[in-house]
Structure 1
């Protein structure tokens, strides 16, 4: 009788699912609040297909990278090849999007970006920890006018600075800038002012935490499962993401 009861209880209360922790900052529509954003959904759904629950935490991007480097979290979303190399992360080399360097100004400003020299003397707002490619990274490092926002919503901070004429130029991804500005009712106060024209692939970067569980390969398997089921394209369509 006791054995029968134990069997019933084990069937009624399934074992707790294996869980990992992934993190990044808000970068909507890639990474949004309340476990939304197409990168968040792709990652979580991919892991679910292989029996892993992926818990997403919103953290400043630089902090998330440091935690991954120290093996205190399992993965960071939207990392570049340079991030992977610098922070000793792993990736199954599945690009889940692209990043481009796009420039915005106040709607009253007629400035337009053509070459790097156009930024001379301009107060440029960017985000701490983001990789903008060697040329722009070096420019921002040397420029006395550059401002690097941090925190959980750094882009919102930069848009507000541009809106209030505290900076001249905002550097970011056009889809993310447009989405964020529309969300906060600031889209009419800023305008697109050109692009560098170079795209960087974005990956999920995995730490060495619980290395024996091979999470990067299980993630790759999960992404393939989503593609086979049609769920991968459905998530991209939901966020109006074009193929890269």
Structure 2
């Protein structure tokens, strides 16, 4: 994230107790994301998002207060880069390669191409994109190879900004301003089915991470190390798998 919209004035406060990350360096962590459900969702007590629940568990053995805020993705990246917040939640490495990442992804995201069923095109590699007009979300990384493709072929790309992005992409497809939507299969799959669209192939999977600010390297390195430590526990005890089943089954 992987895949990201205008300011959403919502903050999740996930207060936790017992051993701290390091009380002398951090007592509060604020991670920014945009609405990218089921990874990061609008406020919902039961289903705030896969990554929100994982984040809560990661900091559950600390006295660090975990704050999660939904804002426009480009703004989120800029704020974290400037040190105004500690990190991003739901980032691909390509979203901010200068940030500090933990060693192993929380999970994997896969971006897929969606078209109308009457469209005979199928993605068979980047050479097959010649006649495609593809909608993407402004500021998102789609993995290194597609990011490079966007730079080299801007006439094939329509960047979407603002609110209600998925709805706007669907409207653009219906009005033939684009002929292809590129979106994460878990974010868009059900809506694609609802509107009668079909997947015509996918990019390689990309790891999804918390990404910490380069403005405070010492703190960010400490936080990344804490995430690695706690993430290993959550994977080994099966808790992440349970969260995934809650959202994806």
| TM bucket, shorter chain | 0.7 to 0.9
For the pair 1:170 / 2:178, whether they are aligned, the reply is no
TM-score by length of 1: 0.78
Comparing both structures, which one devotes a greater share of its residues to helix?
1
The normalised TM-score by structure 2 is: 0.76
String of CA shifts for 1:65-108, please: whole Å, max 9, x gaps: 111111111110222223342xx211221211223231000233
Question: Matched residues in 1 for 2:245 and 2:96: separation?
Answer: 28
Say whether residues 1:77 and 2:89 are aligned partners.
yes
**Does 2:137 correspond to 1:127?**
yes
**Alpha-carbon contact 1:149-1:155 (below 8 Å) kept:** no
- The equivalent of 1:62 in structure 2 is 74
Match of 1:138 in 2: 148
Which residue does the alignment assign to 1:159? 170
Q: What is aligned with 2:20?
A: none
Which residue number corresponds to residue 10 of structure 1?
Answer: none
Q: 2:248, 2:139 → 1: CA distance?
A: 27
Structure whose CA Rg is larger: 1
Does residue 1:206 correspond to 2:218, yes or no? no
- For 1:72, what is the secondary structure of its paired residue? coil
- Tell me, in whole angstroms, the C-alpha distance in 2 between the residues paired with 1:231 and 1:135: 32
Match of 1:41 among 53, 67, 72: 53
Moved over 6 A (4+): none
Cα root mean square deviation, aligned: 2.7
Q: How does 1:21-36 map to 2 (within 5 A)?
A: 21-34=30-43, 36=48
How many residue pairs were aligned?
219
Contact 2:134 2:182 in 1 (8 A): yes
* Partner in structure 2 of residue 233 of structure 1: 241
**Which one of 212, 224, 227 corresponds to residue 216 of structure 1?**
224
Distance 2:89 2:185 in 1: 18
Q: How far does the alpha carbon of each residue in 1:103-143 deviate from its partner, in whole angstroms, 9 at most, with x for none?
A: 00023323221122222132110111222234422332323
| SS in structure 1 of the partner of residue 100 of structure 2 | coil
Contact preservation (8 Å) 2:81, 2:215 = no
Moved more, 118-127 or 232-241: 232-241
Match in the other structure for 2:195? 188
